[in-house]
Amino acid sequence: MVELATSYLGLDLSSPIVASAGPATGRLDSLQRLADAGVAAVVLPSLFEEEIVAASHHVHALLSQGAGAFGEAETYLPEPAAIVAGPERHLELVEHAKARLEIPVIASVNGMSRGGWVRYARLLAEAGADAIECNVYAVAADPAETAQQVEARVLDLVRAVRDAVTVPIAIKVGPHFSAFARFAYELAAAGADALVCFNRFLQPDIDLDTLDVAPTIELSTSADLRLPLRWVAILARRVPCQLALSGGVHTPVDAVKAVLAGADVVMTTSSVLRHGPAHVEVLRAGLARWLEEHDYESVAQARGSVAQAAAADPDAYERANYVAVIERGMRTFNVRPTGSAR
């Protein structure tokens, strides 16, 4: 029997398979189904400070509309005692998830201000989260802001959160940093116990009927595994923190690759949404079977064995080998060099 037990953020996990933040981790009943299916840990949906601030002002504006303006109506909507415009729902979910589940519960936060990061990370920790995942979700769209300033801002918030909570923290970032290997090192140095590679951002689309810009998100596929796989492989055994691979993990084979590249845990959202909570067991069992069939004793033994630092051909993770890849792709899809397809 191959040993799948893993440690992540100082937490003992039964396997490396973790459900990352998404709709399936936002409700107690589906959290329970994930736990029943054998998921090793769950990351709850991010508490977005921006949403809380907007919701608070929005609720205030709507409930204030027309209030105190007309003799026949003091207000126009009831204001029930239980109305929630703050972080209560998230905190409640943390508390209930902790009370209900036996697996570790990781809370996720996304701040828009230094104060917000600190406040909400602290609240989530106080609510009982075993660890905090800082979901750095910002598009560096300000032409006046340099890459150094962007990185400094993120490092600053990592330090702030590090100082604010005692539980371990993971930093989840996007792949769009120009010198990511170095930046990853600095994140670890600033206090990150783990890096989560990577965030998948909502990508805006244009509605051709209305010419409105509408955010969209599509579930990932196994093809999306490549990007995090490369970076986990590059960083593994090099940066002084743990690594979680997130994005594109759909099959047991994907999970195996993630472990081989060096991921301490393998996170999945899309596969659970596509196949249901029970799919985590498919991933776990498939990973175990592969390791067993290939005579590994444990997941720890396999972890990072094909990382850049351990690979037979380390350059392969960096090589700009697109010409050969394109040619192989054209053969696969029977595309002639002239472009005319048959």
Contact footprint for other proteins (CB under 8 A): 52-53, 55-57, 59-60, 62-87, 89, 211
**CA gap 107, 188 in Å, rounded:** 19
Q: HSE of 192 in the Cβ direction (CA atoms, 13 Å)? A: 30
Q: What is the nearest approach in angstroms of other proteins to the Cβ of residue 188?
A: 32
Q: Is 1 within 8 Å of 187 (Cβ atoms)?
A: no
CB-based contacts of 90, cutoff 8 Å, min separation 6: 44, 45, 47, 107, 124, 127
Q: How far is the CB of 27 from other proteins (least distance, A)?
A: 9
Q: Give the nearest distance from C-beta 125 to other proteins in angstroms.
A: 17
Q: Where does the chain have alpha helices with state H?
A: 28-36, 49-64, 88-100, 114-126, 147-164, 180-190, 226-235, 252-261, 270-275, 279-293, 299-302, 322-332
Q: Which is nearer to other proteins, 7 or 64 (CB)?
A: 64
Nearer to other proteins, 205 or 318 (CB): 205
Q: Among residues 209 and 313, whose Cβ is nearest to other proteins? A: 209
Which residue's CB is nearer to other proteins, number 93 or number 187? 93
Residue with smaller CB distance to other proteins, 72 or 295: 72
Classify residue 331 as exposed, middle or buried by CB count within 10 Å of its CB (0-12, 13-18, 19+). Answer: exposed
The smaller minimum CB distance to other proteins, of residues 83 and 316, is found at 83
Q: How far is the CB of 218 from other proteins (least distance, A)?
A: 18
Under 8 Å between Cβ of 261 and 3: no
Rg, the chain, Cα only: 22
The tokens describing 204, both together, are 């805006």
